[in-house]
Structure 1
Amino acid sequence: MEIEERGVKLRLTVIDTPGFGDAVNCEDSWKVCINYIDEQFRQYFTDESGLNRRNIQDNRVHCCLYFIPPWGHSLRQMDLELMKRLHRKVNIVVVIAKADCLTTAEVAKLKKNILSDIREHEIQVHF
């Protein structure tokens, strides 16, 4: 999808990670995401270092919309593992999925618990 704002054209690509964390052993689930992000940065650097820099395609990941399931009480261990590795590479925006199914009090409590986990693990995010 292409977006133009104030004469600047941007290309927006959405990358979905269906099934992330659905495995019985989620210990290394984060590796696929981090490897993909690192590879996109490597490719951009390689292209930027070349002679034909006008036609470079920027496929770097700049932002991660991190959806948190509404049924938990805080972040899962695999969420923390991925966020700890992600936050230095991309901007993370935490989104509570299906928050409209929760009461205002439930959203407030979940948000408080998530923020507590994020602070405890020194993860930089946008909420």
Structure 2
Amino acid sequence: MNKLVILAAAALIGAAGLASAQDTLATADAFGTIPVQEDNQLIVLPLVTATADGEVQIRRITGENEGEVLATAPITAGANEDVRITLIRPANASAVLAVLVVGGVDVASAEVQLAPVGGTD
């Protein structure tokens, strides 16, 4: 019986901590630190926080089609971890722009560095 009470209390504490962490992180629309992407077709954003439901758009930031949306992913209000976005068009660039869009308005952005194509031999 005591084990059951302890497990229930631990579960409640863990759930309360998760809820308060998400509430804290959701006070601003923002991107966490984004590492250089090793796969130029898959963008992984470790943390995206949003005050409301929306989407992340990956946009071209160089060349003739600057601003072109290369891919999107839905996000929910609060903390969104490991947001994975597969590009539907190749970036053909060393960086792209991740833009958080809420209610049709750009509310946050971050440059995402892409690994060099082909690398060095």
TM bracket (short chain):
under 0.3
Name the structure where helix makes up a greater proportion of residues.
1
Name the structure where strand makes up a greater proportion of residues.
2
Which of 1 and 2 has greater Rg? 2
Larger RCO (CA within 8 A; separation ≥ 6): 2
TM-score by length of 2: 0.24
TM-score by length of 1: 0.24
